[in-house]
Structure 1
């Protein structure tokens, strides 16, 4: 049985009178890439800070590599790597000088050349940090986070500022680190990134975990969608899935059996000599699930505002 690198039981975190994390429990297995997602203010940053030993829980139990991240932070620090949203570099140093400085603080560090090769910065070793592009700076931060070959790696928005090509190149690096044995906890606002990389995802809302599981399992909680433009002089639309929804000239069907419903739709169109312009069929995505949860947040906020306004 795979050991849990992270074990959280009924974690609660409070700032003054505000409860940022409300009794969550989750486990992350050895070698797993786990994505923790949520809208701003959902509690994911506080949760990660509790795991890193930067925030003392109000109650509950947190164990990282079998240790208490607050009490045993000194023992855990050499075994973990952290890539923050914004690193603290000296612009006066070169890339190589920055790496060598960080290597002097790191137990059993990778050779500088290996770290540069890992993140595709080999040709940038003599360049001043101030001259790096935003994406190159993020790759340098990743190199520093993995200098010590961490057993557990925290990645906070690792591809912010990268172009699409650099982002996918960084995904390859993250997969390689996982293959080398690192357990990875990822926070990101790029839902495609989480869906592509993660073994499991958890989505937080107002301090609680709303859903957790493999990305494809989470995605299957929502229906697929079939869309097309309303044909001219159309007879009655077929009764598929949850029924047709029309907005302007656009028809949308939600389907829990995409193949069967699409087959029936095409048979109807062929039987009536109708061309379905703009026909598209796609399963739900992690972004769809995330947006549905975020929309629920907005609706709850508006309901609360209306309730308070009537008092």
Structure 2
């Protein structure tokens, strides 16, 4: 099992506060045949200065992008440089448990036709509650659902080692074959829904996708001092995030929702969400987010109903 190389791809942007802890947790793993590929999305803080400590570490490579390709593009760039049999896509606000990688590789050996696997993601700075045991998108209204969200880690039934999933945000391992057949992350999303789209493509390509309840990563749900707590928890702060969240609802639903569900989404849900988020943003005195969500909504509708291109 140790002969199989695992490539850990870590896209990052202005995460100087946590990137070193993330990389070190991978290097301290009990699974030794690993390479770490950090993809810096043109950070403007001192992320690169801190990463210089790994210049002499053979297992670590740093890719410095000249523009911010965000999550989807950063992961794809990392894959281009990856040599592993398995690729772990890991957000930089994680500290993985020492045995997580070895358990993930074991999962690929134990589950037939496995294309994607993820650990339990625990919100370490929010009372050690589970963030996700895998996820799916409600194809009636486009809402992302995290399984097991809010549970205490001790409440998870670990006797049922593998939970079915469609995707998992934040951290997941994919076989090279599954990535290549699925076609990687679609960069039209930029950020938001890109992980869901990738996971759904893997499953629709005929692969299994599971959560290993014995593998754990600690996720730090960070928030900048200038962000609004309510809006950040809703996933729409800062404004560019709100724009892509609104836009990408339509893109995702146009690909995966069918029949009456898709019709109702365009006739009702997309407008209801727009009104909801705009009103909350205005109540929180964030006109920039209200404007961004409104613009993203109509951009998404235009891209999917009228086939307009662009971000």
TM over 0.5: no
TM-score normalised per structure 1: 0.24
Q: Which has the higher strand share?
A: 1
